[in-house]
Amino acid sequence: MGSKTSSVIRFIHKSRRAKKKLLYRMALGVAIDKTIAVYLSFFIGIGFFVIYDELKKYKQWFDLVEDNAVYVLSILAIIYSLRALSLTSASPGMYITSAEYKLMTLPFKKEDVWFAIFVRTICKTFLVQGVVFVLVTLFTPFTTTFMLQFFVFSVIISVLLLLPQWYLYSLSIWTKVKVYFSFLFSFGLVRFLFFMLEIEDLFSFLFIVVLAILNIVLWKKRVKKVDWKKVIEESDRKIWNMFFINKISKVEIKPARKSLMRQVIPQSYKKKPFDYKNKTVIFRRLWIKELAKHKEASWNTLACIVLCLGVLSYQTVWLQALSVIIAIFLVNQFIVSYFRAGFSEKLLHSIPWSMTNIVKAYLTCITPFLFLLLIVYVVLLMIHHVSLMMIILQVILVSIATICIVQTNVAVQVKKMNHKWYKSSVLEQIISPVTYIIIFFVAYQPLLYVYIVILIVYWLYLSRTL
C-alpha cells in the first residue's frame, strides 16, 4: 500500500506542477518579453559577480565567523527553533491539501499519506537549502568546508523541527503559549549552564539529540488530534497562493485568520452593550473599526518611520535631528489623514453628533501608536549611549512637540469642517515650523530645551479649546 500511496501522491503533485507551470507561462508571457528576459538574466548574473567582488573586501569578517563556527551553529539552532515556534500559529510546516486528504477517505492509510508528504517535504527542504548552499559558496568568501558543515546542520535542524511544528499547529493557543514560555525558560537555563561550564562545543550536538528524542515521542501522535480542517484550508491557500500570479492578476488571496491577540485575549466584551455614561466609548469603538480597515497601511507607515529613525540615527547629529523631524511630520500626516477619512463612516453620521467626544475618542485610539514610536526612539537613544538627563529631556520635548502639532492640525481640520472657508491663524501656521527648527538646533544649544515650557503652556491652552 505504501508504494501505491507514493505513486498516487506523485501523480497529484505532477498534475499540480503542470497547472502551475501553465499559469506561470501565461503570466510571464504577458509581463515579460523574451528579449527583456535574456537581458535581465544577463544583468542578474553580472550582479552576482559584482556582489562577490564587494564581499571579498570584508573577508576578515567572514573569517571571523568561520573561526567562531561553534557559536554560529548554536545561534542557528536558536533562530530555527524560534522560527518554527513562531510559525506554529500560521503554518503546519508540511502541506496536506484537500486532494491528499481525499485519499485518506479512500482505502489509503492516513499514516501512509502523511509519511509520503513528510518525505517530499524533507526532499524539498534538502533541495532548497542545497541551492542556497551552492549560491552562498560560489558568491561569498566562505570556505566550502564551513558551508558544508553549515548546510548539514541546517538540514538536520530543519527536518527535526518539522514534526514538532506540525503537532503544535493543531493545538489551542493557550497550549502554544505554555510551550513557548516553557521552551524559552528551559532553553535560557541550558544556555546559561553551558556558558558557565564552558562546554559550548556540546550544545549543538545536545540540541540535535533532544530534538531527535522529541520526534520519537511525537511520532505516534503524528495523525492524532490533528485539526484537519485548519490544516487543509491553510495548505490549499499556501499551495495556490502564487505571488507573481497574484500581482499580475491583481487578485490577493488573504487568509481569514484571527490575529494572535484575538486568540489570546477574549473578544466577548465587544458584544456587551455600550457604557452610555462614558460619552466617548461609542466613538472610540467606531474609530477602532475604521483604523482596523487600514491596518496594513498603518503598519507600513510605522515601519517607514522606524526605518527612518533607525538608519539616520547612525549618521551625523544633523541627520539624527532631521530623522526626528521627519518622523514627527510623518506621524502628523498619518494621524490627520486618517482623521479626515474616518468621517466617511456612515454610522458616525447617524448617532448624536459631538465633535469634542469624537476628537477625544480619536486621540485616545492613536495613543498606543505614538507610545510604540516613543519606545523605539528611547531604545535608539540608549543604544547611542546618550546620558539619562538628555534622554529625559529629548523624550519630553519630542512627546510634547508631537502632541501639540497633532492636536493643532486636528483642531484645524475640525474648524474647516465647521467653516468651509476657514483660514488657519498665525499661531496655528507657525507652531509646526518653529518646533521643527527648535528640535533641529537643540543638540547644539541645550538652552533651547526651555521651549518645552512654551509647548506645555500651548498644549494646556489647546486642550481647553478642543
Residue 225: per-residue pLDDT: 81
Q: pLDDT class for 334, splitting at 50, 70, 90?
A: confident
Pick from 25, 20, 17, 31: which is nearest to 250 by CA?
A: 31
Segment 153-175 shows an average pLDDT of 86
Pick from 391, 368, 396: which is nearest to 379 by CA?
A: 391
Q: What's the residue count for the chain?
A: 466
What span, in angstroms and rounded, lies between the C-alpha atoms of 311 and 308? Answer: 6
The CB-side HSE value for 298 (13 A sphere, CA atoms) comes to 18
How do residues 105-122 score in pLDDT, each as one tens digit? 777 888 888 888 899 999
Q: Which of 42-56, 91-105, 155-169, 260-274 has the highest mean pLDDT?
A: 155-169
What span, in angstroms and rounded, lies between the C-alpha atoms of 155 and 89? Answer: 22
What span, in angstroms and rounded, lies between the C-alpha atoms of 397 and 381? Answer: 14
Segment 145-167 shows an average pLDDT of 89
How do residues 344-367 score in pLDDT, each as one tens digit? 766 666 666 677 778 888 888 888
How do residues 366-396 score in pLDDT, each as one tens digit? 888 888 888 888 888 877 777 888 888 888 8
Q: Which of 101-115, 250-264, 294-308 has the highest mean pLDDT?
A: 101-115
The CB-side HSE value for 213 (13 A sphere, CA atoms) comes to 6
DSSP string, 323-380: HHHHHHHHHHHHHHHHHHHGGG-GGGGGS---HHHHHHHHHHHHHHHHHHHHHHHHHH
Residue 75: per-residue pLDDT: 78
Q: pLDDT class for 272, splitting at 50, 70, 90?
A: low
List the chain domain ranges.
2-240, 279-465
Segment 44-57 shows an average pLDDT of 77
Q: Name the percent of the chain lying above pLDDT 70.
A: 87
Residue 275: per-residue pLDDT: 62
Segment 20-31 shows an average pLDDT of 77
What span, in angstroms and rounded, lies between the C-alpha atoms of 41 and 37? Answer: 6
Residue 387: per-residue pLDDT: 80
**What is the average pLDDT value for the chain, to the nearest integer?**
80
Residue 41: per-residue pLDDT: 79
Residue 251: per-residue pLDDT: 66
- Which of the two residues, 210 and 420, has the higher pLDDT score? 210
Alpha helices per DSSP H over 87-161:
98-105, 110-139, 144-160
Task: Tell me: pLDDT of 229 over 70.
Answer: yes
Residue 198: per-residue pLDDT: 65
Question: Would you tell me how many other CB atoms lie within 10 Å of the CB of residue 88?
Answer: 21
Q: Which of 60-64, 85-89, 334-338 has the highest mean pLDDT?
A: 334-338
Q: pLDDT class for 143, splitting at 50, 70, 90?
A: confident
